[in-house]
A and B are shown apart, each in its own frame.
Chain A
Amino acid sequence: MSEKEIVVPFDHQQSAHCETGVISNLMRFHGLRVSEPMAFGIGSGLFYSHMPFLKLNGIPVTSYRILPGHIFKRFSRNIGVEMKRMSFRDQDQAMRELDKVLDQGLPVGMLTSVFYLPYLPKAYRFHFNAHNIVVFGRKGDEYLVSDPVMDGTTTIHRTALIRARFAKGTPNTNGRMYYPVKVPTDADLKKAAAKGLRRVARDMANTPLPMFGSKGIPYLAGKLRKYQEKLGDRRALLYLGNLIRMQEEIGTGGAGFRFMFAAFLQEAATLLDRPELREKAKEMTAIGDQWRECAFEAGRMVKGRSEAGSSFATLADRLVAIGVMEQRFFKDLARTS
């Protein structure tokens, strides 16, 4: 381990989501200014999937975005960023490599498990192994951390960082780290944004399997109707609570990334000189508001405080309505983009 103290001048900005936040912050360091929503849009981050066959902690996975790590991959491809990505078997080697890159004056992004990040509030610390942070310096055994979901930077002890970098489970984090080696500061943002937008619209409108894209929403609704009968009250409510968390709590910026996507549409309207996208943003905001209504109702059910009439069936009806709105929205967007 190198003894030298190193602090890379890294401008930390808080974001709603870890992956898009890391993209935005790392790009700014390398001279390319992209907001979090723009990073989300260029990386075609928005999606929907409900996968009853894939369970995490015994609960089917529902996701409002594409797979972890893929926003960064698509962003890099669309912008022409060259990334160096590494994973390790050996912990010491993983830390040596991190130190080496820091010594070159470069901030490093990495995959961690929130369970092993002592600086985060206790209530957040489940075994969630896809949290992205940036390490931008080292003072003795303390590493300087820019965690995008926090309002300021923080530090983590070397021992804790090793644990977080080598967490096991879904997935094994394997000391994965990454940093840009080439960022085109004159990148064609217009082209990249248009491409990102097209991809989201197409995937949301046209992914063939029933559990993916906007039609995955009514698909979940169908499952939801049978939850109580199939699972019993307790498990049914646990499934419901998980839906709320996936939609609102895991750094989505509200309404399962729908508001962040609407913010992207607004920026894209100006960037691409397509004023109609500002109208689409308004529409997406209204859809996001419907998602929030769902979460609100689900929250009351979980708490056992729902008013008469609020049941799995009415919640499912709401979801079907959202599904119809999103299908129409993305078909239209796919046609015009």
Chain B
Amino acid sequence: MKKEDVPQDDANILEGKFKVVKYAVNENGDYVVVPSVGWEPENVALEQAWDVVHENVADAKKKVQAGESSTLAYHMEVNMMDPALLAQHMNLPARTVKKHLQPSEFVALNNALLQRYADALMITVEELKKLPE
């Protein structure tokens, strides 16, 4: 890739915080580092990955609203976790976490456990118990 061909397709992925660097050759054929704000295929692939996350969150929200899942299931998806990963953070078996994704089980949880879930998901217990406005 030539220096002048380093793409600058800005999809605001870097939020203007910084530019990443790519390796490309200059007019003498020597490699140099060149800052870049992004490249269309990268942007598209990243957007695709986020679409999946957003779909999972939307699905979880629907299930909570339909009374099929506890609010824990929603906040787990917001943190891009599955029961196995959340279980590791909680130091609990995955099947226990899965159980807590059911509304009937979740309402019976004691405050200490709720607090641990809230910490693992970086929210307050109040937030854990509801969907965001």
Q: Please report A residues at the B interface, Cβ cutoff 8 Å.
A: 14-16, 36-37, 115, 119-124, 126-127, 149-152, 163, 168-169, 172, 237-238, 241-242, 244-245, 248-249, 251, 253-255, 259-260, 262-263, 266, 281-282, 285, 288-289, 292, 295-296, 298-300, 302-303
Contacts and interface: CB of A to CB of B under 8 A. Distances in A.
Contacts, number: 118
B35 A151 contact: yes
B49 interface: yes
A244 to B, nearest CB: 4
A259 B23 contact: yes
Helix, strand, loop or mixed for chain B's interface? Answer: mixed
A302 B23 contact: no
B9 to A, nearest CB: 10
Contacts of B31: 37, 259, 262-263, 266, 281
27 contacts: A15-B21, A115-B80, A119-B17, A121-B13, A121-B17, A123-B14, A123-B15, A123-B50, A149-B20, A168-B89, A169-B88, A237-B48, A242-B45, A244-B41, A244-B42, A245-B45, A248-B39, A253-B33, A254-B22, A255-B1, A259-B24, A260-B23, A262-B23, A289-B1, A295-B42, A296-B41, A302-B48
Interface in B3-35: 6, 13-15, 17-25, 29-31, 33, 35
Contacts of B21: 14-16, 253
A259 B46 contact: no
B123 interface: no
B49 A241 contact: yes
Given A123-B46, A168-B89, A249-B46, 16 more contacts: A16-B33, A36-B33, A121-B15, A122-B15, A149-B18, A150-B17, A169-B88, A237-B48, A241-B45, A244-B41, A245-B46, A253-B22, A259-B31, A262-B23, A263-B31, A299-B42
Nearest to B87: A168
B45 A263 contact: no
- List the 4 shortest-distance A-B pairs measured between CB atoms, nearest first: A299-B41, A263-B31, A168-B88, A259-B23
A127 B44 contact: no
A121 B14 contact: yes
A251 B23 CA distance: 11
Interface of B: 1, 6, 13-15, 17-25, 29-31, 33, 35, 39-42, 44-46, 48-50, 52, 80-81, 85, 88-89, 122
Contacts of B13: 121, 123-124
A168 B85 contact: yes
Given A150-B18, A248-B39, A288-B1, A126 B80 contact: yes
Interface centre among B19, B31, B52, B85 (most CB of A within 10 A): B31
B109 to A, nearest CB: 21
